Amino acid sequence: MHEWQEEVLAEVRAGSRISDRDIVDKVRRAVLMQRLPPGTRLPEVTLGEVFGVSRSVVRKALTRLASEHVVDQRPNQVARVRAPSIEETRETFAARRLVEGEVASLLAGRLDAASRDRLAAEARGEIEAHGRGDEPARIEHSLAIHHLLAELSPNRVLGAMLTDLILRTSIVIALYKWANLASCFLEGDHTTLLAALEQGDAEVAREGIRHHLESLEALLDLSPREASIDLKAILGRSREQA
């Protein structure tokens, strides 16, 4: 039993009934918040002790996390937090541009009043949070906007794919964000995007999304030298992160 588990996941112990879904949510969130860095070992018994359940439940949770590309699960080996390579990061962004662009184009001019209000509220919330320097809250609002787009997608299949891609890009954003860059906030991007959606021009909306995501990707440090991160994660022997 090492140290990270207590600090990161202790809060959950208070919860009454823990199911595999809870574990998935908590771990996913911890990875997203970089409290569980890539390469972190996730042994089944340890996780079970932390959450107060047996390995059966943990195993199911880990399998689902693996299918979400959050952890790496190889036969006879400890599950570890995944460390997507630079190449995969680029490919994930490209896939998301394609899918989210299409979703935006399908959604253009089709938003009902309620959805528009929810989106606008999140956009305002993001700006506010950024204004008062509350980065976690800002990320929360930004993610909410994109998740809302996925949820509202008229094509549910594409919507589900987008949900997955948003998660994966969020993880790599946390991973490859410039260390000195506090925020990945693109002033006004979301606002103009929503305007395009209301306007109803599918191609403008699609391009709006593509541009937004390209700018986001450009904020990351994907230079080849960072490839060492992968090596460290793969070769890393220490039980903590490299």
Partner DNA sequence: GACATGAATCCTGTATACAATGAATGGGTT
Partner DNA sequence: AACCCATTCATTGTATACAGGATTCATGTC
- Number of residues forming the site for DNA (CB under 7 A): 22
Residue 109's φ and ψ, nearest 5 degrees, are: 75, 5
One residue of 13, 15, 67, 203 binding its own copies per CB under 8 A: 67
Helix (H) or strand (E) holding 42: strand 41-42
Smallest gap from Cβ 88 to its own copies, in A, equals 7
Among DNA, its own copies, none, what binds residue 64 when CB lies within 5 to 8 Å by partner kind? its own copies
Q: Is residue 222 a contact point for its own copies (CB under 8 A)? A: no
One residue of 34, 46, 63, 191 binding its own copies per CB under 8 A: 63
Q: Is residue 124 a contact point for DNA (CB under 7 A)? A: no
All residues at 6 or more sequence positions from 87 whose CB lies less than 8 Å from its CB, including other chains: none
What distance in Å separates the CA atoms of residue 9 and residue 27, rounded to the nearest whole number? Answer: 8
**Ordered strands of the 41-42 beta sheet:** 41-42, 79-81, 71-72
Smallest gap from Cβ 92 to its own copies, in A, equals 5
Q: Which residues pair with 81 in a beta bridge?
A: 71
Of 127 and 222, CB closest to its own copies = 222
- Contact pattern from residue 22 through residue 61 relative to its own copies, giving x for each residue in contact according to CB under 8 A and a dash for the rest: -------------------------------------xx-
One residue of 15, 54, 121, 214 binding DNA per CB under 7 A: 54
Residue with tokens 């594409």: 158
Q: Which stretch binds DNA (CB under 7 A): 41-49, 123-131, 143-151, 183-191?
A: 41-49
Q: Which stretch binds DNA (CB under 7 A): 37-45, 88-96, 198-206, 214-222?
A: 37-45
End-to-end Cα distance, the chain: 18
What distance in Å separates the CA atoms of residue 189 and residue 71, rounded to the nearest whole number? Answer: 31
Of 19 and 85, CB closest to DNA = 19
Q: Is residue 231 a contact point for DNA (CB under 7 A)? A: no
Q: Are 172 and 89 in contact, with CB atoms under 8 Å apart? A: yes
- The CA-based angle 56-22-39, given to 5 degrees, is 75
Q: Give 133's DSSP letter.
A: T
- Which residues contact DNA (rule: CB under 7 A)? 19-20, 41-46, 52-57, 59-60, 75-79, 237
